Structure 1
């Protein structure tokens, strides 16, 4: 299973301890079924196609999905071996040729009470891996590595429950319940977020729309990941646009592929709150926390690229 038993959080988390702990719990006679607290962990999941039937059977004995060789995106629709190779390449090359991701660029436009956020940023991590981070409901710690909740083992954004509504080839429509934790001027609380996400695991794109979001009349958006050939100028001596196959050839397979992420987030406070100056405050807070979540992702990727745990 190598380095991918827990895709996304596998780099800086030791899988052996959870495995040993779960074995001890099973030996004590405790049930390995999911508790109500972990109901969100029941899906959607896709098994690592490289594992043997024996390994799968052993994994089924584990009582926590975070320790299973599972994916949130369907590996039928991308080259998993190439993704593994790229992840290893990023981690091995980072010391020699560091890549610096700038903070996200956020453009804000408000029209008729509706706020549009256009967001662009890059991450030194392959597109499919970034997409997995966006969609993985296992609360792997992406949104707290450098955040305010670090010392309390709480994340800014947690998934509470997921339910697959439709699966059609690479397209998957999932109902998701999340909770956003906030802290402003010494006060803190949570905001429940209930959305429908329409994902395409092959194109690494998604759109989302609210079912119910507290204090929001409109809450929707989209994201997509595109390949970024970060070593093109250094290894291919070219700035012109090329394909992934051409990049792999001219770089002799040593070129890293990062991600160019484009997001759109549209929201409008509920009618009673969409009046200045309250609406100004709500928009300011929403923009602030959007930037904070993206910064958490950026810092998480920087941290795992510095890791030396490559697995076998």
Structure 2
């Protein structure tokens, strides 16, 4: 995923700690949060006025009844040595805002460790074709393995479609990983449909806007599939057990961080 921390082998005890809203910070909480209007290209395929209205609806609702994103649901299977993670989770922002925060996540750190776990280094546009963009992203992720501690780089090539809100990614450079690739898509959740759309549940955003009188909030459902396999000898037990376990745990933690960042976005918008 574009610039996403990378579900890498972040072998750090921080992944075992519970996350709290107050425990996550960035260099500048509000300025680092991604706004969907930052990219003019976005406005070619999405209604910026509707996005502004949704931000206001979410901000008002958040003060009265804060939205809760449950932890990501993760199903893990292994076939021929390749680990497959099927992941579903929600974000309490519009699909466009969710997509932007996935493709351009802010740098994240946890107060309890006083170290930056994810740092965005660069994002380079390689090719552009209408709504499709191919980019090269580089991040660093904190890494602890036995007595060795450092931040290591992760380079990904990401094929993004900002109209369909889908992306495919594949590693260009990543320590320990022979295979690391995946995809994700963002779908709308019509949060207030049962309350505001009495006669028929909407199937599209246009129907939802009409039946809710423009007062219905739209959240996001993210569906992700990720595949990874360590290089030899780390693909063999007991190394593989440890690497797979920590990679899966790290994935969940980093996704929860993104969920918390959208909570901050709702509060500060």
TM-score between the two structures when normalised by the length of structure 1: 0.70
Deviations 1:110-156 (A, max 9, x none): 111100000001111001001111122xx634x33x5645x44x2x2
The alpha-carbon distance between structure 1 residues 196 and 229, as it changes in their structure 2 partners (threshold 3 A), is same
SS in 2 for 1:272: coil
Q: What is the rounded CA distance, in whole Å, between the counterparts of 2:225 and 2:235 in structure 1?
A: 20
Q: What is the rounded CA distance, in whole Å, between the counterparts of 2:148 and 2:195 in structure 1?
A: 49
Structure 1 outlier segments of 4+, above 6 Å? 184-187
Give the aligned partner of residue 13 of structure 1: 30
The alpha-carbon distance between structure 1 residues 286 and 12, as it changes in their structure 2 partners (threshold 3 A), is closer
Higher relative contact order (CA 8 A, sep 6+): 2
Contact 1:215 1:270 in 2 (8 A): yes
Q: What is the rounded CA distance, in whole Å, between the counterparts of 1:222 and 1:239 in structure 2?
A: 32
Unpaired segments ≥5 residues, structure 2: 1-25
Q: What is the rounded CA distance, in whole Å, between the counterparts of 1:82 and 1:244 in structure 2?
A: 11
1:290 correspondence with 2:258: no
SS in 1 for 2:167: strand
Q: 2:106 aligns with which of 134, 140, 143?
A: 140
More strand by share: 2
1:73 Cα deviation after fit: 5.8
TM-score between the two structures when normalised by the length of structure 2: 0.81
Give the aligned partner of residue 28 of structure 1: none
Q: Greater CA radius of gyration, 1 or 2?
A: 1
Give the aligned partner of residue 76 of structure 2: 108
Give 1:101-250 correspondences, 5 Å limit. Answer: 101-136=69-104, 140-141=106-107, 143-144=108-109, 148-149=112-113, 151-152=114-115, 154=116, 156-183=117-144, 188-237=149-198, 240-250=201-211
1:74 Cα deviation after fit: 3.2
Q: RMSD of the alignment, in Å?
A: 2.6
The alpha-carbon distance between structure 1 residues 190 and 169, as it changes in their structure 2 partners (threshold 3 A), is same
User: How many pairs were matched up?
Assistant: 241
1:79 Cα deviation after fit: 1.2
1:268 correspondence with 2:229: yes
Deviations 1:163-215 (A, max 9, x none): 21110000000011111113578964323211100000100100001111111
SS in 2 for 1:13: helix
